[in-house]
Amino acid sequence: MQNLTVLGSTGSIGTSTLDVVARHPDKYRIVALTANRQVDLLFQQCSQFKPDYAVLLDEASVKKLRALLREAGLKTEVLCGVDALEQVSVLPEVDAVMAAIVGAAGLRPTLAAARAGKKILLANKETLVMAGNVFMDAIRISGSALLPIDSEHNAIFQALPRGYDGNMTGAGVRRILLTASGGPFRNTRLADLENVTPEQACAHPNWVMGRKISVDSASMMNKGLEVIEAHWLFNASADDIQVVIHPQSVIHSLVEYVDGSVLAQLGNPDMRTPIAYGLAYPERIASGVAALDLFKVATLSFVAPDFERFPCLGLAYQALRTAGTAPAILNAANEIAVAAFLDKRIAFLAIPRVISAVLDTLPVCSVTGLDDVLCADAQARRAADIEITKIIN
């Protein structure tokens, strides 16, 4: 029996995780669930899985959940705040932590779980983007197992040799091919991108995701963040990682070997596949995902990314090559810019302009610890707010 904490249980990854867990009650037990403010959904999850703990981030939501649980006769203890996220990530009885909180908010509890030696199911991009060296050092020191849950990185993990130790040359790996759908604006005229709406940006053709990550997919910043993730996960340089537009989202990523072989992982676009792989590794369990029908797919196509159409992808490569706090600056500026776009304060094409301006404005420092990352994050958010104000005025 594997005891789990699910950070971000009400999001798309969290709900998919619980769907897989519910299929295997003999293998997994939920110890803790956490959410931001979705009290009603968290209550439903608590009713089904009866965790020992539930965490919310504000007192009003905590009071409401406590009342609902008390009325239902459930004994789940409700905790409040960011510190509580760390608390339920390091509980002695917890074996594995699904890190599925979107954004920088997931950094601290995920890092705490790594330092505590927990098995980490990593679906939070920002942990590696912002603090890759700090996080990977914690993994090495504690001996924690790290399983990537992003469909692309999970596919790469599956296509690499078992026991891959980060030595691409020693493993005979030539490069990593990171696939991308291209999002909803893959074929939109460049002139029309200025006027796209948040609703259009969130209408992903293949995946069902939250609003922030959907906008990142539309701008391809999501893929840029994944390039930085892949660097840390697989010890690959920027030049070793090639992004490939693959509209069908059937091949989730590939690994090219020096002998000319290219290994790929294929499947229907459903996050339950990589989640089930991470939960059960090195075994495999049923995920509830329908079998891939190759005759129905029929055609697989591939196109090189257009960096003029997707400047955010180029900015991510730039930040990776710059290193230090540059990826943290990139991530923070993007979070602020995307929030402004979703609030209809700036246009879609202003997102990369804000990020570029912030990267050009702020100094890049080396990262020796978490404080360096958090300082750069705070500075970048302030600088992004200033740039947005300039655009609006």
pLDDT digits (tens, 9 = 90+) for 303-354: 999 999 999 999 999 999 999 999 999 999 999 999 999 999 999 999 999 9
What lies within 8 Å, CB to CB, of 308 at 6+ separation is 190
Q: Output the six-digit token pair for 120.
A: 């980490």
**What is the C-alpha to C-alpha distance for residues 384 and 117, in angstroms, rounded to an integer?**
36
Q: Output the six-digit token pair for 291.
A: 């079998």
What pLDDT band is residue 94 in, cutting at 50, 70 and 90? Answer: very high
Sketch the domain layout of the chain as residue ranges. Answer: 2-148, 156-269, 323-392
Q: Is the CB of residue 19 less than 8 Å from the CB of residue 100?
A: no
- Average pLDDT value for residue range 259-272: 96
What are the tens digits of pLDDT across the range 222-241? 999 999 999 999 999 999 99
What lies within 8 Å, CB to CB, of 109 at 6+ separation is 7, 82, 85, 86, 88, 89, 97, 99, 101
Residues forming beta bridges with residue 134, ordered by sequence position: none
pLDDT on residue 193: 85
pLDDT on residue 188: 85
Q: Output the six-digit token pair for 391.
A: 């655009």
Same fold, 2-148 and 323-392: no
Average pLDDT value over all residues in the chain:
94
Residue recorded with tokens 């790469």? 156
What pLDDT band is residue 104 in, cutting at 50, 70 and 90? Answer: confident
Torsion of CA 42, 43, 48, 53, to 10 degrees: 70
- Average pLDDT value for residue range 135-156: 95
What are the tens digits of pLDDT across the range 370-391? 899 999 999 999 999 999 999 9
What are the tens digits of pLDDT across the range 343-365? 999 999 999 999 999 999 999 99
pLDDT on residue 340: 95
pLDDT on residue 206: 61
Q: How far is CA 56 from the centre of its chain?
A: 20
Task: Check pLDDT > 90 for residue 110.
Answer: yes
What pLDDT band is residue 105 in, cutting at 50, 70 and 90? Answer: confident
Q: Is the CB of residue 16 less than 8 Å from the CB of residue 41?
A: no
pLDDT on residue 371: 92
**What is the C-alpha to C-alpha distance for residues 185 and 240, in angstroms, rounded to an integer?**
26
Helix or strand or coil: residue 312? helix
Output the CA–CA distances (angstroms, integers) from residue 393 to 264, 317, 335, 337, in the order listed. 48, 30, 20, 15
Torsion of CA 256, 259, 260, 264, to 10 degrees: -40
Task: Check pLDDT > 90 for residue 60.
Answer: yes
The CATH number of 323-392 is 1.10.1740.10
Task: Check pLDDT > 80 for residue 207.
Answer: no
- Average pLDDT value for residue range 197-206: 76
Q: Which stretch of 195-209, 265-279, 336-350 has the lowest confidence by average pLDDT? A: 195-209
Q: Which stretch of 85-89, 207-211, 268-272, 379-383 has the lowest confidence by average pLDDT? A: 207-211
DSSP string, 187-212: TS-GGGGGG--HHHHT--SS----HH
Q: Output the six-digit token pair for 97.
A: 């932590």
Task: Check pLDDT > 90 for residue 24.
Answer: yes
Q: Output the six-digit token pair for 343.
A: 């609030």
Helix or strand or coil: residue 2? strand
- Which CATH architecture describes the domain 2-148? 3-Layer(aba) Sandwich (3.40)
pLDDT on residue 86: 96
Q: How many residues are present in the chain?
A: 393
Characterise 8 by phi-psi region: left (phi > 0), alpha (psi -120 to 50), beta (else). left
Helix, strand, coil in percent for the chain, rounding step 5: 50, 15, 35
Residues forming beta bridges with residue 120, ordered by sequence position: 97, 146
Q: HSE on the CB side for 393, CA within 13 Å?
A: 6
pLDDT on residue 18: 98
Torsion of CA 380, 381, 383, 389, to 10 degrees: 160
Where b means 16+ CB within 10 Å and e means fewer, 285-323 reads: eebebeeeeeeeeeeeeeeebeeebbbbbbbbbbbbeeb
Closest CA to 45 of 34, 36, 58, 37: 34
pLDDT on residue 220: 94
